Structure 1
Amino acid sequence: MSTSTGQQHPISLYLKVWALLFVLSTLSYLVDYFHFQSYLRWGLILTFMLAKAGLIVAVFMHMAWERLALVCAILLPPLCLLVLVGLMVLEAEHTFLTRLLFFH
Protein backbone atom coordinates (compact mmCIF):
# COMPACT_ATOMS: atom_id res chain seq x y z
CA MET A 1 0.00 0.00 0.00
CA SER A 2 1.48 3.27 -1.01
CA THR A 3 0.14 6.56 0.18
CA SER A 4 0.23 9.43 -2.25
CA THR A 5 0.55 12.92 -0.86
CA GLY A 6 -0.97 14.82 -3.75
CA GLN A 7 -3.54 17.53 -3.72
CA GLN A 8 -6.93 16.78 -5.27
CA HIS A 9 -9.03 19.65 -6.51
CA PRO A 10 -12.79 19.25 -6.69
CA ILE A 11 -14.31 18.86 -10.13
CA SER A 12 -16.68 21.72 -9.33
CA LEU A 13 -13.73 24.13 -9.42
CA TYR A 14 -12.88 23.11 -12.97
CA LEU A 15 -16.52 23.26 -14.07
CA LYS A 16 -16.86 26.77 -12.64
CA VAL A 17 -13.73 27.89 -14.46
CA TRP A 18 -15.00 26.34 -17.71
CA ALA A 19 -18.29 28.20 -17.26
CA LEU A 20 -16.48 31.46 -16.56
CA LEU A 21 -14.27 30.96 -19.64
CA PHE A 22 -17.42 30.38 -21.69
CA VAL A 23 -18.97 33.61 -20.35
CA LEU A 24 -15.80 35.60 -21.05
CA SER A 25 -15.61 34.19 -24.59
CA THR A 26 -19.25 35.09 -25.16
CA LEU A 27 -18.60 38.64 -23.97
CA SER A 28 -15.60 38.85 -26.27
CA TYR A 29 -17.74 37.84 -29.25
CA LEU A 30 -20.47 40.27 -28.22
CA VAL A 31 -17.96 43.12 -28.52
CA ASP A 32 -17.80 42.41 -32.26
CA TYR A 33 -21.52 41.70 -32.52
CA PHE A 34 -22.47 45.12 -31.12
CA HIS A 35 -19.89 46.84 -33.37
CA PHE A 36 -17.88 48.63 -30.70
CA GLN A 37 -15.23 50.80 -32.31
CA SER A 38 -11.80 52.25 -31.61
CA TYR A 39 -10.08 52.01 -28.23
CA LEU A 40 -13.19 50.72 -26.43
CA ARG A 41 -13.29 47.66 -28.71
CA TRP A 42 -9.61 46.84 -28.32
CA GLY A 43 -9.64 47.57 -24.61
CA LEU A 44 -12.55 45.18 -24.03
CA ILE A 45 -11.06 42.46 -26.23
CA LEU A 46 -7.68 42.69 -24.48
CA THR A 47 -9.32 42.71 -21.05
CA PHE A 48 -11.33 39.58 -21.79
CA MET A 49 -8.29 37.91 -23.36
CA LEU A 50 -6.09 38.61 -20.34
CA ALA A 51 -8.81 37.43 -17.95
CA LYS A 52 -9.15 34.14 -19.84
CA ALA A 53 -5.38 33.65 -20.00
CA GLY A 54 -5.07 34.37 -16.28
CA LEU A 55 -7.76 31.83 -15.43
CA ILE A 56 -6.16 29.18 -17.60
CA VAL A 57 -2.71 29.75 -16.12
CA ALA A 58 -3.95 29.95 -12.53
CA VAL A 59 -6.25 26.93 -12.49
CA PHE A 60 -5.42 24.56 -15.34
CA MET A 61 -1.66 25.07 -15.11
CA HIS A 62 -1.88 25.00 -11.28
CA MET A 63 -0.11 28.33 -10.77
CA ALA A 64 -2.53 29.32 -8.03
CA TRP A 65 -1.11 26.57 -5.82
CA GLU A 66 2.59 27.07 -6.55
CA ARG A 67 5.14 28.88 -4.42
CA LEU A 68 5.53 32.60 -4.95
CA ALA A 69 9.16 32.18 -6.06
CA LEU A 70 8.16 29.83 -8.87
CA VAL A 71 5.31 32.10 -9.97
CA CYS A 72 7.67 35.08 -10.07
CA ALA A 73 10.29 33.09 -11.97
CA ILE A 74 7.74 32.17 -14.63
CA LEU A 75 5.68 35.35 -14.90
CA LEU A 76 8.19 38.17 -14.34
CA PRO A 77 10.40 37.67 -17.44
CA PRO A 78 7.47 37.93 -19.92
CA LEU A 79 6.18 40.97 -18.04
CA CYS A 80 9.60 42.61 -18.27
CA LEU A 81 9.68 41.87 -21.99
CA LEU A 82 6.26 43.48 -22.41
CA VAL A 83 7.48 46.61 -20.62
CA LEU A 84 10.53 46.75 -22.90
CA VAL A 85 8.35 46.31 -26.00
CA GLY A 86 6.15 49.15 -24.77
CA LEU A 87 9.20 51.37 -24.33
CA MET A 88 10.36 50.50 -27.85
CA VAL A 89 6.94 51.44 -29.23
CA LEU A 90 7.10 54.81 -27.50
CA GLU A 91 10.61 55.41 -28.83
CA ALA A 92 9.57 54.41 -32.35
CA GLU A 93 6.64 56.82 -32.30
CA HIS A 94 8.89 59.61 -31.03
CA THR A 95 11.41 58.93 -33.79
CA PHE A 96 8.68 58.82 -36.44
CA LEU A 97 7.14 62.10 -35.30
CA THR A 98 10.58 63.75 -35.15
CA ARG A 99 11.32 62.65 -38.71
CA LEU A 100 7.95 63.95 -39.89
CA LEU A 101 8.68 67.31 -38.25
CA PHE A 102 12.13 67.78 -39.75
CA PHE A 103 11.82 66.12 -43.17
CA HIS A 104 8.43 67.41 -44.31
Structure 2
Amino acid sequence: MTEAAVQIEGRRHPLHAHAPDAAASAVTTHAEGQQHPIKLYLVVWGWLFVLSACSYLVDYFGLQGYLRWSLILLFMVLKAGLIVAVFMHMAWERLALTYAILLPPVLVLVFVAIMVFESEYTHLIRVLFFSQAA
Protein backbone atom coordinates (compact mmCIF):
# COMPACT_ATOMS: atom_id res chain seq x y z
CA MET A 1 0.00 0.00 0.00
CA THR A 2 2.87 2.39 0.62
CA GLU A 3 4.19 1.74 -2.88
CA ALA A 4 0.79 2.74 -4.28
CA ALA A 5 0.82 5.96 -2.28
CA VAL A 6 4.32 6.74 -3.53
CA GLN A 7 3.22 6.09 -7.12
CA ILE A 8 0.15 8.31 -6.72
CA GLU A 9 2.20 11.12 -5.19
CA GLY A 10 4.83 10.64 -7.87
CA ARG A 11 2.26 11.24 -10.59
CA ARG A 12 1.36 14.88 -10.79
CA HIS A 13 -1.60 16.36 -12.51
CA PRO A 14 -0.59 18.27 -15.66
CA LEU A 15 -1.93 21.51 -14.18
CA HIS A 16 0.29 21.17 -11.12
CA ALA A 17 3.40 20.19 -13.05
CA HIS A 18 4.65 23.75 -13.37
CA ALA A 19 3.32 25.21 -10.13
CA PRO A 20 6.75 26.00 -8.62
CA ASP A 21 7.85 27.62 -11.89
CA ALA A 22 4.71 29.78 -12.01
CA ALA A 23 5.17 30.85 -8.41
CA ALA A 24 8.80 31.74 -9.02
CA SER A 25 7.96 33.78 -12.13
CA ALA A 26 5.16 35.57 -10.25
CA VAL A 27 7.63 36.54 -7.51
CA THR A 28 10.15 37.86 -10.02
CA THR A 29 7.44 39.71 -11.95
CA HIS A 30 6.16 41.25 -8.73
CA ALA A 31 9.68 42.23 -7.69
CA GLU A 32 10.42 43.73 -11.11
CA GLY A 33 7.11 45.61 -11.14
CA GLN A 34 7.83 47.31 -7.82
CA GLN A 35 11.21 48.73 -8.76
CA HIS A 36 11.09 52.31 -9.97
CA PRO A 37 14.01 54.29 -11.32
CA ILE A 38 15.72 56.60 -8.85
CA LYS A 39 15.33 59.41 -11.40
CA LEU A 40 11.56 59.38 -10.78
CA TYR A 41 12.04 59.98 -7.06
CA LEU A 42 14.63 62.70 -7.65
CA VAL A 43 12.31 64.51 -10.08
CA VAL A 44 9.45 64.32 -7.55
CA TRP A 45 11.70 65.63 -4.78
CA GLY A 46 12.72 68.47 -7.10
CA TRP A 47 9.08 69.36 -7.80
CA LEU A 48 8.29 69.21 -4.09
CA PHE A 49 11.14 71.63 -3.45
CA VAL A 50 9.94 73.98 -6.22
CA LEU A 51 6.34 73.90 -4.95
CA SER A 52 7.50 74.55 -1.38
CA ALA A 53 9.60 77.48 -2.61
CA CYS A 54 6.57 78.87 -4.47
CA SER A 55 4.49 78.54 -1.33
CA TYR A 56 7.16 80.42 0.60
CA LEU A 57 7.32 83.11 -2.09
CA VAL A 58 3.60 83.77 -1.70
CA ASP A 59 4.33 84.97 1.84
CA TYR A 60 7.60 86.64 0.85
CA PHE A 61 5.90 88.84 -1.77
CA GLY A 62 3.14 89.71 0.68
CA LEU A 63 0.18 88.53 -1.33
CA GLN A 64 -3.08 88.95 0.57
CA GLY A 65 -6.68 87.88 0.41
CA TYR A 66 -8.15 85.16 -1.75
CA LEU A 67 -5.15 85.10 -4.08
CA ARG A 68 -2.81 84.21 -1.21
CA TRP A 69 -4.99 81.43 0.15
CA SER A 70 -5.80 80.09 -3.29
CA LEU A 71 -2.12 79.82 -4.19
CA ILE A 72 -1.18 78.26 -0.85
CA LEU A 73 -3.97 75.69 -1.14
CA LEU A 74 -3.07 74.98 -4.77
CA PHE A 75 0.57 74.33 -3.91
CA MET A 76 -0.47 72.22 -0.92
CA VAL A 77 -2.79 70.05 -3.04
CA LEU A 78 -0.15 69.63 -5.75
CA LYS A 79 2.46 68.54 -3.20
CA ALA A 80 0.03 66.13 -1.54
CA GLY A 81 -0.90 64.71 -4.94
CA LEU A 82 2.73 64.09 -5.84
CA ILE A 83 3.41 62.41 -2.51
CA VAL A 84 0.34 60.19 -2.76
CA ALA A 85 0.92 59.31 -6.42
CA VAL A 86 4.61 58.46 -6.25
CA PHE A 87 5.72 57.77 -2.69
CA MET A 88 2.53 55.95 -1.71
CA HIS A 89 2.48 54.19 -5.12
CA MET A 90 -1.09 55.26 -5.96
CA ALA A 91 -0.10 55.97 -9.56
CA TRP A 92 0.38 52.24 -10.08
CA GLU A 93 -2.71 51.01 -8.22
CA ARG A 94 -5.97 49.84 -9.68
CA LEU A 95 -8.48 52.50 -10.60
CA ALA A 96 -11.03 51.20 -8.08
CA LEU A 97 -8.54 51.60 -5.21
CA THR A 98 -7.63 55.06 -6.42
CA TYR A 99 -11.29 56.05 -6.46
CA ALA A 100 -11.81 54.55 -3.01
CA ILE A 101 -9.02 56.71 -1.58
CA LEU A 102 -9.32 59.93 -3.59
CA LEU A 103 -13.07 60.25 -4.10
CA PRO A 104 -14.12 60.76 -0.42
CA PRO A 105 -11.90 63.85 0.14
CA VAL A 106 -13.15 65.34 -3.13
CA LEU A 107 -16.74 64.80 -2.03
CA VAL A 108 -15.98 66.37 1.35
CA LEU A 109 -14.62 69.45 -0.44
CA VAL A 110 -17.77 69.62 -2.57
CA PHE A 111 -19.95 69.44 0.54
CA VAL A 112 -17.86 72.13 2.25
CA ALA A 113 -18.33 74.38 -0.79
CA ILE A 114 -22.09 73.78 -0.66
CA MET A 115 -22.09 74.68 3.06
CA VAL A 116 -20.15 77.89 2.37
CA PHE A 117 -22.72 79.00 -0.19
CA GLU A 118 -25.55 78.04 2.16
CA SER A 119 -23.98 79.95 5.05
CA GLU A 120 -23.69 83.09 2.92
CA TYR A 121 -27.37 82.81 2.03
CA THR A 122 -28.37 82.24 5.66
CA HIS A 123 -26.28 85.23 6.75
CA LEU A 124 -27.89 87.43 4.11
CA ILE A 125 -31.41 86.38 5.14
CA ARG A 126 -30.67 87.05 8.84
CA VAL A 127 -29.21 90.49 8.07
CA LEU A 128 -32.24 91.41 5.99
CA PHE A 129 -34.71 90.08 8.57
CA PHE A 130 -33.12 91.75 11.60
CA SER A 131 -32.53 95.05 9.79
CA GLN A 132 -36.25 95.30 8.99
CA ALA A 133 -37.23 94.67 12.63
CA ALA A 134 -35.26 97.65 13.91
- Superposition TM-score, scaled by structure 1 size: 0.92
* Stretches of structure 1 lacking an aligned partner (at least 5 in a row): none
Q: C-alpha offsets along residues 7-40 of structure 1, whole Å, 9 cap, x if unaligned? A: 2001111111011100110010011001112121
2:48 to 12, 21, 24: 21
- Paired position in structure 2 for 1:35: 62
Quick one: distance in 2 between partners of 1:39 and 1:86?
A: 15
Q: Distance in 1 between matches of 2:111 and 2:56?
A: 30
**How many Å separate the matches in 2 of 1:36 and 1:85?**
25
* RMSD, aligned α-carbons: 1.2
Please state if 1:50 is matched with 2:80: no
Q: Give the match for residue 102 of structure 1.
A: 129
What secondary structure, in the 3-state scheme, does the structure 2 residue paired with 1:39 have? helix
Whether 2:112 is the aligned partner of 1:85: answer yes
Partners of 2:76 and 2:67 lie apart in 1 by 14
SS of the counterpart of 2:36? coil
Percent identity for Structure 1 against Structure 2: 68
In the TM superposition, structure 1's runs of 4+ consecutive aligned residues that sit over 4 Å from their partners are: none
Instruction: Kindly state the Cα deviation for residue 42 of structure 1 after the two structures are TM-superposed.
Output: 1.3
Question: May I ask how many residue pairs the two structures share in their alignment?
Answer: 103
Q: Which structure carries more relative contact order (alpha carbon 8 Å, separation 6+)?
A: 1
Higher alpha-carbon Rg: 2
With the length of structure 2 as denominator, give the TM-score of the two structures.
0.72
Unaligned runs of 5+ in 2: 1-23
Which secondary structure state, in structure 2, belongs to the residue aligned with residue 86 of structure 1? helix
Instruction: Look up the SS of the partner of 2:62 in the other structure.
Output: coil
